[in-house]
Chain A
């Protein structure tokens, strides 16, 4: 129903809906290619935040007055919207968090603390963002569990032929990214979840780089947990969610204690609400949740298949023209991939390139992209990364190529 054909989408009109894209940087029109770090916000999301604070602001779930009722309704409607967007069976399966990192930490503490024991294995991949690595290192240190990794091939895909030997019955959880934030690789999530289920392992999908870019349906993927951030999909910072299958969330103890998450409290002990409230201690990010729902409305209006198609075209165009530059090495798979292109140029270090580009109004990212082990594996101190979203254009990519060509000349 949301499958608006790409050729009928007026991408220029959509671009106009992002006020920040009219900014200049160092005197040049801004070219924003750091979308894997955070995306820009459309007017509709900014207006939703403003409307909330100007008309409905109050605390949720406890006030017996008009504004509290409005805020509560808007907050819970946002939860419904997120559940619908992800294809969850019920809104009770969605816990609002600060973002992907907090969602993963929630699972590591609440679920991991109860179900992971010494000798158990957490299976990860070598391409995980630090946010899907460090929480498991901490859990392993607390419990005596071991970490195991699916290797990454030279072309940026997972070495899936090794999966059978890694995914053994000791594995309690297989946690992996949907789309790699430095390589652009799209992992076969449904297949990985099915294989994990076959050995009795739970699955967690880091969907930070996918939910705003391609269709994601938790029931079709068959995952147990899925984590994402609002700010990488046109929403505000500081809001995200954890999807968890109802039966699993029910079995988990709370992790943060405080108001909102309790049924009754005595000085000695407390009883806790059912999920998702059990995991939302304290006043939540109400405005953030409302802004996230507005971002979802906005994305759904364009349609994720159209967005994916558009972004894939930009990535292919960028890869084709980057390859024409001297001393260029592009990372990641050459086929179907996300709108993320990491590369290294012989002529200049990523930091020099990004500083040079910035002075021409081009926002790139240079460094290890929170993928230090992966960079080490590829023998790189870091890469330069261009990451696109639906408001970017091929004309902007042409300018990037010109700037990088100038940089190559300048530094060599």
Chain B
């Protein structure tokens, strides 16, 4: 087993992939975002409910995909629950920087999400790790309703510059 592979598929990540947390449909979701990665067919349906103070009261996802995209979605929902919009936005940026290797200084707020750093060495897999976060980014931009995002649209500023060789 190579070191890179062990770093990519850490035991915690594989555990999230096998038993994703917050998996299922969210009742009374204020926002529902369908995200897809056309390069590989992975799909995520992300439901978000905001509290009276605007914080993330509850968040759930469903869909299918590779271990990286499933684990990333599971860990994301675990991390985001209860966070304010500002905190969530900061986590989104920090996570994106982490998996794309944009910065050497890591945000300690990421906690468990730091385990996803192994993705850096696999540029083709950055989209897998970002799929759920891309859906969440869209969810933050709307207060209600349903929408669709794709990893193949407008990557100018979201860490999707690496063209997938898998399409």
> Which of A's residues lie within 8 Å of B, judged by CB?
26-27, 348-352, 354-356, 359-360, 365-368, 370, 372, 375, 380-382, 410-411
Contacts and interface: CB of A to CB of B under 8 A. Distances in A.
A409 to B, nearest CB: 11
B67 A348 contact: yes
Contact of B5 (A354, A359, A366): A359
B65 interface: yes
Contact of B66 (A26, A352, A365, A372): A352
Nearest to B122: A355
Contact of B67 (A27, A359, A370, A411): A411
Contact of A382 (B1, B8, B41, B128): B41
A367 B2 contact: no
B75 interface: no
B64 A370 contact: no
Nearest to A368: B41
Given A356-B5, A359-B2, 12 more contacts: A26-B2, A27-B2, A350-B40, A351-B40, A355-B122, A367-B41, A368-B41, A370-B167, A375-B41, A380-B41, A381-B43, A411-B14
17 contacts: A26-B2, A349-B66, A350-B66, A351-B40, A351-B166, A352-B68, A355-B124, A355-B125, A359-B2, A366-B166, A367-B41, A367-B167, A368-B41, A368-B167, A381-B65, A382-B41, A410-B9
A411 B14 CA distance: 7
B4 interface: yes
Interface residues of B, number: 25
A162 B146 CA distance: 40
Contacts of B39: 367
Nearest to A370: B167
A181 to B, nearest CB: 13
Contacts, number: 61
Contacts of B40: 350-351, 366-368, 381-382
B145 to A, nearest CB: 26
B68 A351 contact: yes
Given A366-B40, A367-B166, A368-B167, A351 B128 contact: yes
A367 B39 CA distance: 7
Interface string B1-19: 1101100110000100100
A372 to B, nearest CB: 7
A221 B8 CA distance: 50
A381 B67 CA distance: 13
A28 B38 CA distance: 31
B42 interface: yes
B167 A355 contact: no
Contacts of B5: 355-356, 359
Contacts of A348: 67
A349 B66 CA distance: 5
Interface in B95-149: 122, 124-125, 128
Contacts of B4: 26, 359
